[in-house]
A = this chain, B = another copy of it.
Amino acid sequence: MPTLQDVARHAGVSTATVSKVLSNTPYFTEETRLKVMQAVAALNYRPNLAGRALSSGKTEIIAVVFPYVYDALFTDPFVLYMLQGIEAECHAEGYNMLLSTPRLTAAGPDDHYLRLVQSGYVEGMLAFDNVPLASVLGPVHQRHIPCVAIGYHETQYYVRSDDYAGGFEMLQHIVGLGHRRIGLITVPEKTNFSMDYRLAGLRASAEASGLDFARLPQVSGNYSIEGGAAAAKRLLDAYPELTALVCLNDRMAMGAVQQCQALHRRVPEDMAVMGYDNIPQAASMLPPLTTIDQQAPELGRTAARMLFSLLKSHTPEPVILPTQLIVRGSTIPVR
C-alpha cells in the first residue's frame, strides 16, 4: 500500500506538507495543494489509521458497548433499532463503530473489555449502561475516555428515555379507557434500571387514579415473547376477571396477545393489551399494538451526537428523551 512518503515523493514535497494538506491546514498555495491531491489520486493513497492513531490519538473509531447479560442483546429488536440511530450519526461523521459486548458480572466487565478500553484504539465510547448489577464505566472514567452512557448509572454525560413518564402514561391510558381490573406483566426487579422506572411510573399513575397498586395482579415475564405468554396465562388463570394487561415491553405484550387468543379471549374486545418500546413489529401485529414509543433510533442518535460533540471539546448537556403514547388497535374502552 502506498504511504505518505510515496505521495510526498510523487508530488515532490515533504511528508509534512502532504499531511497538512490532507488535514485541510490553510496557508498552502493552490499549486502545492494541487500537486499533492494529484499524487494522492494517482497512487490511490489512503491513510494508515494505525500510524495516525499512534501519533495523534485520532482513530475514527468509537466503541459501542452492549453488556452481554440475559438474552437481550441478540434477540431484542430494540437493540438493532437503537443501533440504527448510532450508525446514522457515525456514518455522517465518518466514524466506524466497534461493537463491544463485555460479559458483565457483579465483579464488573471482563478482561477483554478492559483491554479494549485501554488499547488506545477507541476515541470515544457509547455505553449501554443500564444493569444495576454493575456499570461498564469504571475503567472508562479511569482512563478519561470521552463517553456517553445510555442508561441510569451515575455519570456526567448520558441520554435516557423518560421511563418514569412512559410508565405513568401507560397506566393513565388504560385507566382512561375505563379499565380497573388490570394485570401487570413485568420483569424481576433490579435487573434493568429502565424497567424499574417504568414500574415506578405505573405505581405513581395507579395512585393518582385511586387504584391500590399493590393489589394489581403482577407476574414477571422475563422480557421474551414466551415469557409474556406464560405470564399472561398465569394471570388469566388466577384472575379471570381481568380486562387489561399492561406489559413492560412489546415482546412480552406480543406473547400476551397470543396467549389471550389461544384462551379465546379476543383482543381488544375482551382484553386490552398494551406494550412498551414501539419496536418495528408492534405496528404490524394483529391487532396492532398500543405501546409507548421510546424513540429507540433517536436515543442512539442523540447519544452519538453528544459523543461527537464531546470529541470536539464541547460539553453537551445530558438529555432525557420524552416518550410518546402510540394508540393502536389493541386497546379499547372497557365494555
Q: Is A13 part of the binding interface, using a Cβ–Cβ cutoff of 8 Å? A: no
A-side interface mostly: helix
Q: Is the CB of A143 within 8 A of B1?
A: yes
The interface residues of chain B lying within 8 Å CB-to-CB of A69 are none
Q: Is the CB of B79 within 8 A of A96?
A: no
For residue A112, give the distance in angstroms from its CB to the closest CB of chain B.
6
Q: Is A50 part of the binding interface, using a Cβ–Cβ cutoff of 8 Å? A: yes
Q: Is the CB of A258 within 8 A of B286?
A: yes
How many copies the complex holds: the figure is 2
Q: Is A16 part of the binding interface, using a Cβ–Cβ cutoff of 8 Å? A: no
The interface residues of chain B lying within 8 Å CB-to-CB of A261 are 286
Contact-residue bracket for chain A: 35 or more
Q: Is the CB of A74 within 8 A of B79?
A: no
Of B94, B97, B101, B121, the residue contacting A87 (CB under 8 A) is B101
Of B54, B80, B224, B284, the residue contacting A229 (CB under 8 A) is B284
A89-110: which have CB < 8 Å to B?
A: 91, 94, 96-101, 103
Q: Is the CB of B96 within 8 A of A98?
A: yes
Of B1, B81, B103, B284, the residue contacting A74 (CB under 8 A) is B81
Q: Is the CB of B101 within 8 A of A99?
A: no
Q: Is the CB of A48 within 8 A of B1?
A: no
CB-defined interface of A156-176 with B at 8 Å, one 1/0 digit per residue?
000000000000000000000
Which positions in A face B, CB cutoff 8 Å?
A: 1, 46-51, 53-54, 59, 61, 64, 73-75, 77, 79-81, 83-84, 87, 91, 94, 96-101, 103, 112, 114-116, 118-121, 143, 224-226, 229, 254-255, 258, 261-262, 280-281, 284-286
Known: A54-B54, A73-B84. 7 other contacts (CB 8 A): A46-B118, A50-B120, A61-B98, A74-B81, A98-B98, A224-B284, A226-B284
